[in-house]
Amino acid sequence: MQYIPNILFLIALVLGIGYFTRNIRKVIRNIKLGLEIDASDHKKERWRNVFRIALGQSKMVVRPVAGLLHIIVYIGFIVINIEVLEIIIDGLFGTHRIFASLGIFYDYLIASFEILALLVLLGVIFFWTRRNIQRIKRFWSSEMKGWPKNDANYILYFEMVLMLLFLIMNASDLQLQRLGAAHYVEAGMFPVSQYLVPLFEGFSESTLIFIERTAWWLHILGILTFLNYLYFSKHLHIILAFPNVFYGKIVPKGKFKNLESVTNEVKLMMDPNADPFAAPAEGAEAPAKFGASDVTDLSRIQLLNAYTCTECGRCTSECPANQTGKKLSPRKIMMDTRDRLQEVSKNIDKNGEFKPDGKQLLDDYISREELWACTTCNACVEACPVSIDPLSIIMDMRQYLVMEQSAAPTELNVAMTNIENNGAPWPYNQMDRLNWKNEV
């Protein structure tokens, strides 16, 4: 009978980590639905970005208030997780504060956890007020209705509750230590939770043990639940930000990729020795589709981008089109991509492979009006704290519209015809290109 808590703990741990692993595998499978892309270049620079942008949060602090709050929560999250290690060992082996033998070091460790827990709690409350009381504009755009809005708040509530449980657990533990309860070794330093102890004044030992155990169990079960919540949430960025920054764009932002399939065709067209009537070689691959109309036409990095997006909206708040009331929102481009990818994922889960569902990313999720509003100014790319590139998706979808569907806006077709005919977007004769030198 005495091993029942240990067994229950083991079951919770296995279920929690098992289900999480299963979903992470699904994320990897879904990302691999995208086109393979070579990102083996610039290793050194990529690692430098991981240290600077992801670990170092360098782009978060471009906005100092949100950046500072985020750093507090981020450091708190990482450091307090050391405590989770102790909780897991205690849970599995029925020990209590196994690391207490570290002596004074343990005291300082617990003290730092407590201070960080308090800071995280305050930070998260501050975040909540920014979102719900101050109502910062980027949190209230049209794409933030319903689930995205609730998701953001759930994350904050989760973190508040986890930090409170941690402090309550410590406070009741401290009171039990003071009462000299068996099993509760005197260990740790409690600079924050000591102020909660008066709340437990006069409680019996058994009540205190009940409070301490309940807080302990809810804390670890909460962490396991939160871990599994990630897959369904924008909060997945806490893991994916790191690989995403690694795979982020290294070349100058103005450099858009040249489509290799087009290069081959253009070269063939310009080769005077090529036979224009030649049949394709035996077993030659079917010509590639130009651009993207669905998530499977995007690259793996673009799909990773979609899973990484935490919907902070810095991109959208910097977007010139969005700021002047156009429909385009770079954040929505990323959210739509993820939503469609999840729809495809469920389709695969259900049918074993993807069964056409008559839907696609273009039109069913992202409208043409959004795509044509982009000025390709790169403000969204610059703004993203985790190196997401919404512009590349917009460009791929424009390519599909123009090259597969000839569906460019009329005025653009006129400009492109001019370029084709006379080498300039306006209807001037190429032979007049140098006339300016004789004009006074």
Partner 1 sequence: MSETIKVPTMAEYMAQGKQPEVLFWVGCAGSFDDRAKKITKAFVRLLTNANVDFAVLGTEESCTGDPAKRAGNEFLFQMQAMTNIEVLNSYEIKKIVTACPHCFNTIKNEYPELGGTYEVMHHTQFLRSLLNEGRLKVEGGKFKGKRITFHDPCYLGRANGEYEAPRELLRKLEVELVEMKRCKSKGLCCGAGGAQMFKDAEPGNKEINIERTEEAIKTQPNIVAAACPFCNTMMTDGVKGKEKEGDIQVLDVAEMIANAEEI
Which residues in this chain contact partner 1 in the complex, by CB under 8 A? 251-256, 258-259, 262-263, 265-267, 269-270, 290-291, 318, 320-321, 323-328, 369, 372-379, 381-382, 395, 397-403, 408-409, 411-412, 414-416, 419-420, 423-426, 428, 430-440
Distance between CA atoms of residues 302 and 308, nearest Å: 10
In the 8-state DSSP scheme, what is residue 366? B
Looking at the Cβ atoms of 94 and 425, the one nearer to partner 1 is 425
Q: How far is the CB of 63 from partner 1 (least distance, A)?
A: 10
261 and 372 in contact (C-beta within 8 Å)?
no
Q: Which two tokens stand for residue 84?
A: 């989770």
Phi/psi class of residue 146: alpha, beta or left (left: φ > 0; alpha: ψ in -120 to 50)? Answer: left
H or E element, residue 268: helix 260-270
H or E element, residue 384: none
Q: How far is the CB of 321 from partner 1 (least distance, A)?
A: 7
Q: How far is the CB of 336 from partner 1 (least distance, A)?
A: 17
Q: What stretches of 59-192 show up as alpha helix (H) in DSSP? A: 64-93, 104-132, 147-179
Q: How far is the CB of 194 from partner 1 (least distance, A)?
A: 45
Looking at the Cβ atoms of 326 and 359, the one nearer to partner 1 is 326
Looking at the Cβ atoms of 2 and 438, the one nearer to partner 1 is 438
Specify the long-range contacts of residues 218-221, CB closer than 8 Å, at least 24 apart. 218/165, 219/87, 219/162, 219/165, 219/166, 219/169, 220/9, 220/12, 220/84, 220/87, 220/88, 220/91, 221/12
Q: How far is the CB of 255 from partner 1 (least distance, A)?
A: 4
Q: How far is the CB of 396 from partner 1 (least distance, A)?
A: 9
Looking at the Cβ atoms of 60 and 373, the one nearer to partner 1 is 373
Q: How far is the CB of 405 from partner 1 (least distance, A)?
A: 10
Q: How far is the CB of 123 from partner 1 (least distance, A)?
A: 25
Q: How far is the CB of 5 from partner 1 (least distance, A)?
A: 55
Q: How far is the CB of 383 from partner 1 (least distance, A)?
A: 8
Residue type, 226: F
Q: How far is the CB of 434 from partner 1 (least distance, A)?
A: 4
Q: What residues contact residue 419 under an 8 Å CB cut-off, 6+ apart?
A: 425
Distance between CA atoms of residues 318 and 379, nearest Å: 6
DSSP character string of 291-308: S-SSGGGSBHHHHHHHHH
Looking at the Cβ atoms of 2 and 273, the one nearer to partner 1 is 273
Q: What residues contact residue 16 under an 8 Å CB cut-off, 6+ apart?
A: 224, 225, 227, 228
Which of 69, 438, 70 is closest to 235 using CA atoms?
Answer: 70
Helices 104-132 and 147-179: angle between axes, nearest 10 degrees: 150
Looking at the Cβ atoms of 103 and 423, the one nearer to partner 1 is 423
Which sign does the torsion angle of CA 228, 234, 239, 240 carry? positive
Looking at the Cβ atoms of 169 and 319, the one nearer to partner 1 is 319
Distance between CA atoms of residues 71 and 208, nearest Å: 34
Looking at the Cβ atoms of 102 and 262, the one nearer to partner 1 is 262
Looking at the Cβ atoms of 37 and 84, the one nearer to partner 1 is 37
Count of other CB atoms within 10 angstroms of residue 219: 21
Looking at the Cβ atoms of 277 and 426, the one nearer to partner 1 is 426
423 and 430 in contact (C-beta within 8 Å)?
yes
DSSP character string of 197-242: GGGGTT--HHHHHHHHHHHHHHHHHHHHHHHHHGGGSGGGHHHHHH
Looking at the Cβ atoms of 347 and 367, the one nearer to partner 1 is 367
